[in-house]
Structures are given as C-alpha cells and as structure tokens.
Amino acid sequence: MSEFGGMEDLLQDFLTESSDMLSDVDNKLVELEKRPGDKKLLNDIFRGFHTIKGGAGFLNVDPLVTLCHRTENLFDKLRNDEMQLTAGIMDQILAATAVVRDMFGYLAQGRQPGPAPQQLLDTLDAVLEGRSPDAAPAAAAPAPAPVASPTPAAAATVGSGGGEPDWNHLYNSLLGSTPVSAPAAAPAQAPAAPAAAPASQTALEQAPAKPAAAANLVPSPGVARAAPAAAASAAPAPTQGVQQLAAPETTIRIDTNRLDQVLNLSGEIGLTKNRLTTLRSDILQGRNDALTLRALDEAIGQLDLLVSDLQNAVMKTRMQPIGRLFQKYPRLARDLARQLGKDVELVITGEETELDKTMIEDLNDPLVHLVRNAVDHGIETREERVMIGKPEKSLVQLTATQVGDHIVIEITDDGKGMKPEVIRQKAIEKGVIKAEEANNLDDKQSLMLIFLPGFSTKDQISNVSGRGVGMDVVKTNIQKMNGRIDIQSIPGEGTRFTISLPLTLAILPVLVVRVCDQPFAVPLAMVREIIPLSKEDIQQVSGKATMVVRDEILSVRSLASLIGWQDTKPPAFGVLMQSAENSFVLAIETFVGRDDVVIKPLQNIKPKGIAGATLSGDGSVVLVLDMEDLLAELGSDKAGTLFEMA
C-alpha cells in the first residue's frame, strides 16, 4: 500500500525528473572537481538541489527536504565565494547525493524514507559553520558490485546426433500455452535504488521483505557508498539492502512528434481497412472484374507499406538516447579511481545515439563491468605512468555510434594493455585450456580467452574485479542481445573493447532458409548474397569444404551439420555470410525469402545457436539462428567438413 495516497502520478513524475536531475548533478560534481571555481557548474548544481527540494516539499518528504536544504545552502556559499571547495567538502557532498538516491529508492516503492544519517547532517552543518570536514573520516568509495550471473536455463540441443527438437513444445511456448519461468528482474534505471550505503543505513531501517524476483538485482553503478566511516559504526545495519527496492522502470519519454506519426499511420490503416472491406463485399457480390482485382492489389500494397511504416514508427517510440545510461559512469569511474589512488578521466561521446530502451537496461551491467575493469586493471598507478613517461592522468573513453542497423559501443583505455602470451599462460595455469590448445591460438584468439568462465589475470582477489573476473558473464549478456564483443590491445598503449548490437531486438530483418524441410531464419545483417551451389564448385582442402567466390577462398559450412542433423537433400544454394571473424558460405537446400520477424525468446529452454523463434504466415515454427553462437560452439573441423553433393 502506497503512503502517498492519491499522489502516485505526481510521485512518479517527481522521481522521473529528479532521478535524471540527480544523475546530472553527479556528473557536474565530477566536473567541478576539475574546475572548482566554475560559476556555471556551481549554479547548475545549486539549482539541481533546489529543484529536488521543492518537489520533495510538495510531496511532504521531509527527510529529503532536510538533506537537500543543507546541500543547497552549502552550494549557495560556494557560488558566492563565501567558502572554498576542498576534497573533504566534496566527499560530504557526494555522500549526500548517495543518500538522496537511497531515498529515491524508497519513494519508488511508495514508502516514506527515514531521516538521513545524523553524522552526515552534523558534518554538513559543520561545513556550513566554517569548520573543516577534513578532520572527519573521508567518504568511503564503493566496493564494486559484481555483475549478476544469469540463471542457467534448461539446456536443450538442436537435434544433436540427428535428433529433433520438440516442435510441439516450441510451438506451444510461442503461443503462450506452455508455462514459462518468470524472467529475472532486470537491473533498473533511475529511479531504481542503489547499493546499500553505510552512510544511509539509518534512513533505510524500514526496508520491506525481499521479493523473490529481486534476488539477482544488481545495485545501480552510478552511486558511491560515500559516507563518513563513523556513520557506518553509528548506524544500525538494516536487515535488507537498498538494492532490494530496485524495480524495473516502466515509463518512457517519447517525443510527441513520434506519437503523432503513429496516430496518423493508424488512421491511414483504418481507411485502407475500410477500402478492403468494400472490395471484399464487391467480390462476394460477383463484381470481381479486372478493375476490382486491380484495386484490391493496390489496397493490399498500400496496407503493406503502411504496416511497415507503422512498425518503424512504433519502434522509434522505444528508442532512447544512450546518454541516459552513460551519465551514470563518470561518478562510477571517479569513485573507483579515488579508492585506488589513480587519476582517471572518463570521456564520453555519442550520448545522443539511440537504442531500444529494453536493451539500454540490459546493457548496464556489461558496461559497468568494463568501465570498472578499465579503471582497476587496465590503468596503471600514477607512479607507474610517470616512470614510463605517460601523463599522470589516464584516459578512459566511452563512445557510441550508429553503423547501419547496429550500434557500436567502445570502451578504450590508455593503460598497460594485455599481452597475449601472458593470457595464454594464465589460461593454462588455471586449467581453462590445455597447453597444446593454447599453442595453436593466435594473438586475437588469445585475448578472447578472458571471456572464458574462471579466467582471471589477477593472482589475488581484491574487492574490485580484475579483468577476466565475470567477463564470461559480460559476453553472455551481450550475446543474449544478439550482439558481439571484440578486443584490441597493444601492450604498453592500452585496450579497446568493441560491442556491436542491433538497434532493437523486437523486430529483426531475416532471410528465411530451409534445410531438412524445416524453415530457419538467419539475421539479414550477416547475409552478403545468395549463390547457386553445385558439386563442381566444392573443393576439399585439408579435409574441409571450400569454394572460390570472386577470387576469395571461402569455407563451406552445411547448416544441417552445424545444427547436428544429417542432410536429407544435397544443398542447392549457398548464402555468403559475414560473421564477426570471417566470411563463409552457408550451404542450404533452398530459401523462402526476406522477412521482418518478431522474435519470441524461448525462456524455459535455450538451444545452442538459437536466438529465439517466430511463427510464419502458415503457422509453422521458425527458429531464428544465432550464427555467432553456432560457429563458436563448433570446432573448425566439424564446421567445415566436406559434405556429399549429388
């Protein structure tokens, strides 16, 4: 039961606006550390706290008003040159923003937060009275939160050894008649509650019981558990942490122009439907002459265009600037660098790049891990950088760009880089791979070893994940979004992680192909062209099927063998595919054509190499293939063996 009876809509509006505003304040505080005399930054931060205080006052959230009022007064003194910003004062300000976000977590559950820790309020009062906060213990930087491991789904193979998947089960699953397990709660965007902060524990004593679905929730990354250490000992520890209050954000901001476009298209579809109804009546009454049939074809063609436009317009309503996610990370990088004694600047570009909202939420955990690893393991200490002639301040760059129907995200650092030979040796020592396997890997393949479960380059485990700890989960989460991740690293110069993702997961352009009389869909983004295939085209090279296409030697891989089936008919066509690693020819029996499909995830089963499924126009199940997964799971011998051609 909400404690804000009759004001839930106002509360939600307040949380949406104030959470974004608080994230903006966090980023401006990081900038203010670099330019403590910047009047514009000081005024902007002052207005941020003032606005949050005003909204909290209207909703009668007195603890939030009390805390924001003190912080607002502090910035009033700073902007009027009545006080100078010091590292100790900044620690207390950041501790205050962490507690404000904690309070937002309670408000998101319709609950009144408790008061802010008295130690924090007393310290802020001391600062306002001109007493230095540096005598008090400094605010503690956050201990990194691990990326939640995905709940293992029931394993299922795609016809391994010539068998078949349970098509009835797949079909019923798509239609919703088969019970499926509830998906784990996704990490929430603001206004989700952050990690429990020692400074704010007294404000959270009223925490509700932990819901079962929230067991795997990950704390918000942009929040420091920053607070005086004395407050931690003075505050009683709550039985439940703040992250248990996190809930997926169910609202989205949409440009009204996009909604107008959806409305206009809906109206035009309605008119076309009326036209089709009239034509149907004419045909039923025997008026099915050439003129009527031509009008019917035109109406159907018009409807096809309108539906396509409507799909695109609806998808645009789900698109959000990725900057709403990126804005959390400067504070994260700042707090972690301060904890490790490093000087790190996080530079963000491409914030305006748009991505499907659900993908933005799922992308949060992998990016948190990669940013943390860049700061912790990729970047050298100040002393190490000075010794080797590098600038004392290190640089981590986070960029997003749209390339075609994909978005590319890069996390780059100018740190120590990774040595392939060291990674190979570590993988052998930890039993991840055998020595003979490691010796056959090139440098690029060696770098990819860090994504294997159990791999780490660190000899000792610290409270900050080293590069490799949990990186298998990062890759798994990226692949769940039909994306891929790549690494480039130069020892002594730095490392770049590149993530490529489709703009949306809801609608996917595919090429529908057939093998063993079963339709499959492959992502159209990987398809270069379709060519006829004959026995004379295939050459056996070292036991593998290859063919020459415009002077390029390509391996030929039978789709049937990739999924573990036996070819019932000789392949008649080859699909030239471009994967992340190389190009190859996918041998198929025949193809149906291009289509735009709505993918339904198979939540209670996860066959290897299957991204999801959809239903064709005739009601049959069409599995959407994850080619990267298929190729990664099979060795080159099996994936490229010669098959018999008639």
Q: What is the CATH number of the domain that holds 29?
A: 1.20.120.160
Q: How far apart are CA 160 and CA 149, in angstroms?
A: 27
Backbone angles phi, psi at 481, to 5 degrees: -95, 20
Q: How far apart are CA 531 and CA 538, in angstroms?
A: 13
Mark whether 432 and 519 lie in a shared domain. no
Phi and psi based region of residue 585 (left: phi greater than 0; alpha: psi -120 to 50; beta: remaining): beta
The Cα-based distances of 335 to 6, 144, 372, 437 in angstroms read 39, 10, 10, 40
Structure tokens at 100: 């404000």
Residue 470: Cβ-neighbour burial (10 angstroms; 0-12, 13-18, 19+): buried
Per-residue confidence (pLDDT) for residue 100, from 0 to 100: 94
Mark whether 482 and 571 lie in a shared domain. no
User: Parallel, antiparallel, or unpaired: how do β-strands 552-558 and 583-588 relate?
Assistant: parallel
Mark whether 358 and 316 lie in a shared domain. no
Mark whether 48 and 131 lie in a shared domain. yes
Q: Which string of DSSP letters, residue by residue, matches 452-514?
A: STT--S-SS--SSPPTTTTHHHHHHHHHHTT-EEEEEEETTTEEEEEEEEES-SSEEEEEEEE
Q: Has residue 164 been placed in a domain? A: no
Q: Which positions of the chain have pLDDT values less than 50?
A: 135-160, 162-163, 177-246, 461, 465-469, 635-642, 646
Mark whether 488 and 364 lie in a shared domain. yes
Q: Has residue 173 been placed in a domain? A: no
Mark whether 576 and 617 lie in a shared domain. yes
Cβ contact 3:19 at 8 Å: no
Q: How far apart are CA 158 and CA 137, in angstroms?
A: 59
Mark whether 484 and 349 lie in a shared domain. yes
Per-residue confidence (pLDDT) for residue 488, from 0 to 100: 93
The residues near 569 (Cβ < 8 Å, ≥ 6 apart) are: 516, 589
Last residue of a domain, one of 448, 470, 502: 502
What is the DSSP code (8-state) at residue 600?
B
User: In the Cβ-directed half-sphere of 469, how many Cα atoms lie within 13 Å?
Assistant: 20
Last residue of a domain, one of 502, 522, 548: 502
Mark whether 384 and 416 lie in a shared domain. yes
CA angle 238, 244, 245 (to 5 degrees): 100
Q: Has residue 43 been placed in a domain? A: yes
Q: In the beta sheet, which residues pair with residue 408? A: 401, 500
Q: Has residue 247 been placed in a domain? A: no
Query: Residue 463 is part of which domain span?
Result: 322-502
CA angle 483, 420, 415 (to 5 degrees): 80
87-108 vs 118-128: helix crossing angle, rounded to 10? 140
The Cα-based distances of 74 to 36, 96, 224, 273, 354 in angstroms read 14, 12, 20, 63, 37
What is the DSSP code (8-state) at residue 375?
I
Q: Has residue 218 been placed in a domain? A: no
pTM over 0.75? The answer is: no
Backbone angles phi, psi at 111, to 5 degrees: -120, 145
Q: Has residue 240 been placed in a domain? A: no
Mark whether 496 and 572 lie in a shared domain. no
Q: How far apart are CA 438 and CA 444, in angstroms?
A: 12
Structural domain count, the chain: 4
Structure tokens at 449: 């070893």
Structure tokens at 591: 């193809």
Mark whether 315 and 364 lie in a shared domain. no
Mark whether 340 and 477 lie in a shared domain. yes
- CA 129 to chain CA centroid, Å, is 45
Q: How far apart are CA 492 and CA 499, in angstroms?
A: 22
Q: Has residue 195 been placed in a domain? A: no
Last residue of a domain, one of 89, 121, 140: 140
Per-residue confidence (pLDDT) for residue 164, from 0 to 100: 53
Per-residue confidence (pLDDT) for residue 388, from 0 to 100: 92
Q: Has residue 245 been placed in a domain? A: no
